[in-house]
Amino acid sequence: MKGIRRTLLLTYFGLYLLNLLVLAAILFYPARYFLPEMLRRLGEGQVWLLLSAALAAVVTTLLVVRKVGSGMTERLSQIAETVERISAGEMTGHTYLGGRDEIGQVAEAVNRMAASLREQVKEISANSNRLETILSTMVEGVIVFNEEGRTVLTNPAAKKMLSKREENWVGRSDLELIRNAELHDKIMIACLGKRVQEHELKTVFPEEKLLSASIVPLKPGEPGKSGVLVVFRDITRLRRLEEIRADFAANVSHEMRTPLTAIRGYAETLLDGAYRDTETAVRFLKIIHRESERLNNLIEDVLMLSQIESGRADMELVPVNVAGLAEEVLESLLDRLSTHKLKLEVSPGLPPVTGDRGLLRQALFNLLDNSLKYTPAYGEITLGAVREEHSIRIYVADNGIGIPLAAQARIFERFYRVDRARSRSLGGTGLGLAIVKHIVEAHHGRLKLESKEGQGTTVSLYIPVYPPDR
């Protein structure tokens, strides 16, 4: 502001001198005649008076200019200070200068500009907060690359998926972060503003994962270069489920083929003339009947499994009395139980469990059916129930052939059998325990298997008591 003050001073002083010169020039010509005469007439004191008056005029001008100049510079300084505060990021910056002159108008414009800046900054920070919240809550991993293929933005999910320890990804290339040549080529193509592409990649650290990546140019169609958005999705579970489903379909068809082949074979032999020998015909018809039973069991088990798994089984969670349930199941197996010794160990006074009566009956039926199948005749089978904290442990124990340790982890998988031929010959579908597992999961319960080869097996179901939150 000193500059302005100096300029004003020089301007005013210059004008003042110019005035003096013009006046002197105008007066000089006539003054030539009367000035000597006048000076002769004036006393020495009067000359000094004149000179002092001239000096006083000069000093007064200087003071006036200084005063006016400093008033202006002060106001301009205030405006400059406000602008500096705003540019330093102090959003409350405001100048309180009044006045209708140009400086007042400038101050008013600065205030308006500051208010509009405040609004814009507020909006920008709200937008960026919104973007950050969206990015950090997304399950998909997001990375944005600039037109040179360098990272400008990432979200936590991307870091988790790609398991990189480096905190700062900004400025790094995709090759540094992901190390996948094919993905890199696709990102480079997208950098040229070309089409949207898809890519699948496997990660191995810290666990094996299958990721699908969508690579999207940010300004598609624009000539030259563009930024690239890459969205990663973890499709490990999805792919695994697809595989399980495909395996299941293949297994079901395979399991169906065996009884169907037998039925067709024996029916054809009968048609070829075997029906004439009554004894043979009866034997064959019995086999056909048994195989069709097996086919029926298989279809029923597959349907039940898919219903529970997809949540389509109309489950009704009600209080179920365990003693009554045990009786019901034993009744349905009465004709088969006569070959074994049965023990019932249901503790008296048990609270009811929270469950679907039909599904729980099915689970107990499957367990007892297995004990009957895999325990030699006259072996011992126990059905019991005890309270354990918030659950009732319902267990089926036998002293049968037991399950080898190596097989115990897989025993609840679909179609897994320790001895395939044995299970088949006993009419097993290989789905019994898989169904039990799904029923227990649908009840928010858990399963426990204890078994020793050659000594016996105990399977326990922990089902929550009723009411559920007790």
Other CB atoms within 10 Å distance of the CB of residue 246: 10
Instruction: Provide, rounded to whole angstroms, the least separation between the CB of residue 462 and ligand ADP.
Output: 18
- Tokens 């199948």 locate to 373
Instruction: Provide, rounded to whole angstroms, the least separation between the CB of residue 439 and ligand ADP.
Output: 13
Choice from 95, 154, 423, 460 touching ligand ADP (CB under 6 A): 423
Instruction: Provide, rounded to whole angstroms, the least separation between the CB of residue 449 and ligand ADP.
Output: 9
Task: Note the maximum CA span of the chain.
Answer: 176
Residue 440 binds to ligand ADP (criterion: CB under 6 A)? no
CB nearer to ligand ADP: pick between 155 and 370: 370
Other CB atoms within 10 Å distance of the CB of residue 63: 10
Instruction: Provide, rounded to whole angstroms, the least separation between the CB of residue 432 and ligand ADP.
Output: 2
* Contact between 218 and 189 (Cβ < 8 Å): no
Least Cα distance to 191 among 151, 153, 146, 143 occurs for: 146
CB nearer to ligand ADP: pick between 69 and 259: 259
Stretch that binds ligand ADP, among 116-124, 129-137, 327-335, 431-439 (CB under 6 A): 431-439
Burial of 270 by CB count in 10 Å (0-12 exposed, 13-18 middle, 19+ buried)?
A: middle
DSSP H helices in 272-332: 278-309, 322-332
Helices 44-87 and 2-41: crossing angle in degrees, nearest 10, is: 170
- Give, as ranges, the residues between 357 and 416 that touch ligand ADP (CB under 6 A): 366, 370-371, 373-374, 398, 400-403, 411, 416
- The site string for ligand ADP over 315-354 (x = CB under 6 A, - otherwise) reads ----------------------------------------
Instruction: Provide, rounded to whole angstroms, the least separation between the CB of residue 409 and ligand ADP.
Output: 12
* Contact between 147 and 191 (Cβ < 8 Å): yes
Q: Give the C-alpha separation, 142 to 189, whole Å.
A: 18
Residue 449's DSSP bridge partners are: 459
Choice from 180, 362, 399, 429 touching ligand ADP (CB under 6 A): 429
CB nearer to ligand ADP: pick between 155 and 451: 451
State the residues that interact with ligand ADP by CB under 6 A: 366, 370-371, 373-374, 398, 400-403, 411, 416-419, 423, 428-434, 457
